[in-house]
Chain A
Amino acid sequence: MADTVQDNATQQNGTLLGADELVLNMGPQHPSTHGVLRVKLKLDGERVRGTECVIGYLHRGVEKIAENRSYQQFAPYVDRMDYVAAVSNGLGYCEAVEKLLNVEAPPRAKVIRTILTELQRIASHLIWLGTHALDIGALTPLFYCFREREEILKIFEKYCGARLTTHAFRIGGLQYESYDSFEKDVERFCKDFERHIQEYVDLLTGNSIWIGRTRNVGVLNAADCIAIGASGPILRASGVKWDLRKAQPYAAYDQYKFEIPTGTNGDTYDRYMVRMEEMRQSRLICLQAIENIPEGPILGKVGKVLKPPAGEIYHSIEAPKGILGYYIVSDGGTQPYRVRIRPPSFVNLQALDKMTRGHLVADVVAIIGTLDIVLGEVDR
C-alpha cells in the first residue's frame, strides 16, 4: 500500500492546473467495478494514461482446497467461482473428471446438461446486459433483464432446489431426474424470451446515446485478443470465429444446429451485439433440445468412491465469459493431486489496460462492463 500513499502525496500538492499525473483510485468499494476490483487510473486531466488492476480481494484458495477434498466433495466449490454461471462451471468440472475416469455420461444426461448450460448462458448474459446498461446510465434494462432471469432461476430451483450455486451435475451424469413439467417450462420461457429480447433491442440498440457511448470505445482487435488469450464474446467480437461448442463439441452440442455470431472491429458495441445474438442462439438450442430428450438412465457406471488412474487431463468448455479450462492431475488416490482452473474473466481482465488507454474516465466504466468479469472467478 506504501506506493499508493506516496502517489497520492505527490498528487496532493500538485495543483489541479499543473497536475502532471493524477492517480485516481477506483477502489475496491466502487459501484461499477462488478465486485471487489480496484483499478488505479493514471489520469492526465480527464484522459486515462494507463490503468493497473489490483485483484485478490476475493481470493479463497479454491485450488488448494481441492487438494484435500475428494472429487465429489470438490464439485460444490466449483459453483462458487463464477457465481453468476454456476451450472457451466459444474459441467466443465464433471466432464473433466469423467474424461479422467474415461467414463461417458448417458445421452439423456448429456441433453439435459446442455439445456441447463444454455439457460445459464442466457441468465449470465442477462446480468451482464443489465449491469452494463446501468453503468452507462440506462436505468430500465436492468429490471427487464432480472425479470427474465427470474424465470430461469425458477426452472433451476424446480430442477435441483438451488437458484444460484446449483451443484446440478454429478460426475458421470445427473443426480436428479428432470421434473415432469421441465419441457413445458423451458418451452414457455423460450417463447416469451423472443418478445423480451425485442424489448432490449428497442431500448438500446438503435439509441443514439447508447451508440455514442459504445461505438469505438475499448477497441481490441483480433491480434491483441489472441496475444492476450482473451476468449468468448470478446474474441468473437473482434472477428475471430472460435467457439468451443463448435470447435471441440462436448455434451450434446454436436446434435444441434446454431451459428456463432462474430463482430467486425471489436469495440463495445460489437461485443454488445455478439452477446445479444448469443442469447438468441442459446434460445434456439434449448428449443431444439427439448423436442426429444432421449429416454434412459441419467447416471453412468461410476462407483461411490472414485479412484481415477494416475495421470493428468485438460478439458475446457465454452462458459458464458469465455473458455473455462480444468487441468486435473491425479495420483491414483481419492483426492486430486492438483486442480488448476483457467478462468476466462481473469485472462480477459488483462485487456483492460490496453482498451482504456486514451479514453475518458466515463469510458473506463463502460469498458469494465463490456469485459463482463466476475471477481469470484478472477481471484478464485
Chain B
Amino acid sequence: MNPTAQAILHFLLTWWVEIVCGVVIVAVLPLVAGYVVLVERKLMADMQARLGPMRVGPHGLLQPIADAVKLLIKEDIVPRDADGLIFWFAPVISMVAAMTSMGALAFGPTFQVARDINIGILFVVGVSSLGFLGIILGGWASNSHYSIIGAIRSTAQLVSYETAGGLAIVSALLLSGTLKIRAIVDAQYDHHVWFGFLAPVAFFTYLVASIAETNRAPFDLPEAESELVAGYMTEYSGFRWALYFLGEYANMIVVGSVATTLFLGGWLRPFPSVHWLDKPLGVLPALLIGGVGVYSIYRAGKQPVPIQTWFMWAVALACFAVAGIFAAPWVFAPLKFIIPGLNGAFWFLLKVGAYIYVFMWLRFTLPRYRFDQLMHLGWYILIPLAIVNVFAVGVALLLESEFGWNRWLALIVTTAFTLAIALFLVRLHDKRTTAGSSATAATTDSYAG
C-alpha cells in the first residue's frame, strides 16, 4: 500500500471516534432544530388556548420535515444590487460558527467530538461569538435600509450582552478552577452540588445574557416584526433564510449546553453522590421513553386518517426501541459499561431541554424591550452585576480557603452582598427613568452617536 493511503488509513484509525461524533452532530442538528421549532410552536399554542400545527402528520409531527422541504424549494431572492459574495456567505458563517462551537461540547461523559481541549468552555464561547459576524455581514450585504438598522442593532446588543455572559462564565470557572468541560462536571461531582446553587447570581446573569445573545424573547428586538419587519433577515428567503434560522436554534442549543455544563451539573443525574438512588434513577430514562411509546399507541387509535395511525404506531415502536436500548444494560450485565454514557447523555439533554423550555416560556409571556431600555439594562445593570459577582465569588473562595469559613456560609454572605448591590443598581435605574419623565425618555441614544 502506498504511503499516502497508509497515512490516510492511520489518520482515520486514530480519529474515527471524533469523526463519527462530528458527522452525527452535523447530520442530527437540522433535525433536532426542526423538532425544537415544532415543540416551540406546540408550547406556544398550548399557552394560548389553541392547538398549534396539527395538519402535517399526527399532531403535526411531520411539520418540521414539511418546513424543511418548503424552504428548500422556495426561490432564493437576491436583492438587486446586493453584495453577491457576502450575501451568500453571511448565513453560512452564522451556521458554521454554531456547529463548530458544538464540536467542543460534551453531550455525555463519552460523547464529545473534540476530546478534552485544554480551553473547552472558552473555545465554545469564542467560536459562537463569531456567529454575529454572519448577522452583521448579512444585514450589510442585503443593502436595504431596514436590514442595515436591524444588523447594527443586533450587533450592538450581542456585543454588550456577550460581555455580561462572559463575566458570568468567569465566576462559574472560579468555582471549577479549570476550562476543560469534563473537568468542570467532575468538579461539580466532587463539590456534591451544582454550581447553579453555589453562584445563583452568576447563573441568573448568564440566563439573561444568553437570551439576549440568541436574539430571543424579550430581547428579540433586531427582528421585531412590528418595526423593522425582520431585521437583518428581511431580504433572505428560501434556503439562506433557513440557514439563519438553523443558526439561531443551534446557538440556542449551544448556549443551553454551556449553561448546563457550567451551572446545572452537565451529565450528572440529580443526586449524583446518593448511591441508593442509582437503580431507580438509572432505570428512569427507559421508563419515561417507554411511557411516551404507550401514550402514542393510545393516541394511534384516535387518529382520523389510517396513514396517521400507522405513523403513530411507528413512533411508538421507535420509542420502545430507544427504551429497550436504555433498559438493556440493566437486564444483562456485560453491557454495564455503556450505562454512564447513555444515562449521562439522557440527563444532559433533559437539562438542556429544560433550559430551552425557559427560553420559550419567556418568549410567550413577556412583551419586548425597547432598544435603549435593552442597552440600558445590559450596560447599567447586568455588566456591573456580573463584575461584582466575579469579585464576590473570588472573595468567597478566599474566605473559604484562607479563613476556613464553611463554603456555604461564605457564598451566602457574598451572594447577599451582590444582591444588595443589584438592588441599589435597580433603584438607581428606576430613579433615573422616573426622574427623566419628560416627554422624551432621557436615555443614552446609543444608536444615533
Q: Which residues of A line the B interface, CB within 8 A?
A: 16, 24, 31-32, 44-47, 133-140, 142-144, 147, 203-204, 207, 209-210, 212-213, 215-217, 219, 357-363, 365
Shortest beta-carbon distance from A220 to chain B in Å? 10
Total inter-chain residue pairs, C-beta < 8 Å: 99
A357 touches B439 (CB 8 A): yes
Residue of A at shortest CB range from B145?
A: A24
Q: Which of B364, B367, B437, B447 contacts A46 (CB 8 A)?
A: B447
B48 touches A144 (CB 8 A): yes
Provide the B68-96 mask, 1 if CB < 8 A to any CB of A, else 0.
Answer: 00000000000000000000000000000
Query: Any chain A CB within 8 A of the CB of B67?
Result: no
Instruction: Compute how far the CA of A136 lies from the CA of B373 in the bound complex, rounded to whole angstroms.
Output: 13
Assuming the contacts A47-B448, A138-B366, A360-B370, asked whether A31 and B439 have C-beta atoms less than 8 A apart, the reply is: no
Instruction: Compute how far the CA of A136 lies from the CA of B50 in the bound complex, rounded to whole angstroms.
Output: 21
Residue of B at shortest CB range from A214?
A: B367
Which of B194-202, B222-230, B271-279, B325-333 faces chain A?
B222-230
Q: Which of B205-231 contact A (CB under 8 A)?
A: 218, 220-221, 224-227, 229
A360 touches B371 (CB 8 A): yes
B48 touches A45 (CB 8 A): no
Instruction: Compute how far the CA of A210 lies from the CA of B441 in the bound complex, rounded to whole angstroms.
Output: 15
Query: Any chain A CB within 8 A of the CB of B49?
Result: yes
A46 touches B218 (CB 8 A): no
A360 touches B448 (CB 8 A): no
Assuming the contacts A47-B445, A137-B218, asked whether A209 and B225 have C-beta atoms less than 8 A apart, the reply is: no
A44 touches B448 (CB 8 A): yes
Q: Which of A46, A144, A362 contacts B224 (CB 8 A)?
A: A362
Residue of B at shortest CB range from A358?
A: B440
Q: A137-B218, A357-B439, A362-B371 are in contact. List 12 more A-B contacts (CB 8 A).
A: A31-B226, A46-B447, A135-B226, A137-B369, A140-B364, A213-B368, A216-B437, A358-B439, A359-B440, A360-B370, A362-B221, A362-B227
Q: Which of B49, B227, B369 contacts A365 (CB 8 A)?
A: B227
Query: Any chain A CB within 8 A of the CB of B363?
Result: yes
Shortest beta-carbon distance from B363 to chain A in Å? 7
Return chain B residues, CB-CB under 8 Å to A144.
48-49
Instruction: Compute how far the CA of A137 lies from the CA of B226 in the bound complex, rounded to whole angstroms.
Output: 8
Specify which of A31, A204, A210 lies most central, judged by the most chain B CB atoms within 10 Å of its CB: A31
Query: Any chain A CB within 8 A of the CB of B44?
Result: yes
Residue of B at shortest CB range from A32?
A: B226
A137 touches B368 (CB 8 A): yes
Binding site of B, secondary structure by majority: helix, strand, loop or mixed? loop
A137 touches B366 (CB 8 A): yes
Residue of A at shortest CB range from B448?
A: A45
Return chain B residues, CB-CB under 8 Å to A219.
439
Return chain B residues, CB-CB under 8 Å to A31.
225-226, 229
**A-B CB proximity, top 3 nearest:** A45-B448, A137-B368, A143-B48
How many residues on the B side are at the interface (Cβ–Cβ under 8 A)? Answer: 34
A138 touches B49 (CB 8 A): no
Instruction: Compute how far the CA of A16 lies from the CA of B145 in the bound complex, rounded to whole angstroms.
Output: 10
Query: Any chain A CB within 8 A of the CB of B254?
Result: no
B227 touches A46 (CB 8 A): no
Return chain A residues, CB-CB under 8 Å to B44.
139
B48 touches A139 (CB 8 A): yes
Return chain B residues, CB-CB under 8 Å to A46.
371-372, 445, 447-448
B225 touches A147 (CB 8 A): no
Return chain B residues, CB-CB under 8 Å to A138.
365-368
Instruction: Compute how far the CA of A207 lies from the CA of B366 in the bound complex, rounded to whole angstroms.
Output: 8
Return chain A residues, CB-CB under 8 Å to B50.
143
Instruction: Compute how far the CA of A180 lies from the CA of B441 in the bound complex, rounded to whole angstroms.
Output: 55
Specify which of B50, B364, B368 lies most central, judged by the most chain A CB atoms within 10 Å of its CB: B368
Instruction: Compute how far the CA of A140 lies from the CA of B365 in the bound complex, rounded to whole angstroms.
Output: 6
Q: Which of B410-449 contact A (CB under 8 A)?
A: 433, 437, 439-441, 445, 447-448
B49 touches A209 (CB 8 A): no
B447 touches A207 (CB 8 A): no
8 inter-chain pairs at a CB distance below 8 angstroms, sorted by A residue, are: A45-B445, A47-B440, A137-B226, A144-B48, A207-B366, A212-B433, A361-B227, A362-B370
Residue of A at shortest CB range from B225?
A: A31
Residue of B at shortest CB range from A365?
A: B226
Instruction: Compute how far the CA of A125 lies from the CA of B368 in the bound complex, rounded to whole angstroms.
Output: 22
Return chain A residues, CB-CB under 8 Å to B366.
137-138, 207, 209
Residue of B at shortest CB range from A44?
A: B448
Query: Any chain A CB within 8 A of the CB of B148?
Result: yes
A133 touches B367 (CB 8 A): yes
Instruction: Compute how far the CA of A371 lies from the CA of B448 in the bound complex, rounded to whole angstroms.
Output: 28
Return chain A residues, CB-CB under 8 Å to B220.
137
A209 touches B368 (CB 8 A): yes
Return chain B residues, CB-CB under 8 Å to A24.
145
Instruction: Compute how far the CA of A143 lies from the CA of B366 in the bound complex, rounded to whole angstroms.
Output: 14
Assuming the contacts A139-B44, A143-B49, A358-B439, asked whether A212 and B373 have C-beta atoms less than 8 A apart, the reply is: yes
Return chain A residues, CB-CB under 8 Å to B221.
362
Instruction: Compute how far the CA of A361 lies from the CA of B368 in the bound complex, rounded to whole angstroms.
Output: 13
A45 touches B447 (CB 8 A): yes
Shortest beta-carbon distance from A216 to chain B in Å? 5
A137 touches B439 (CB 8 A): no
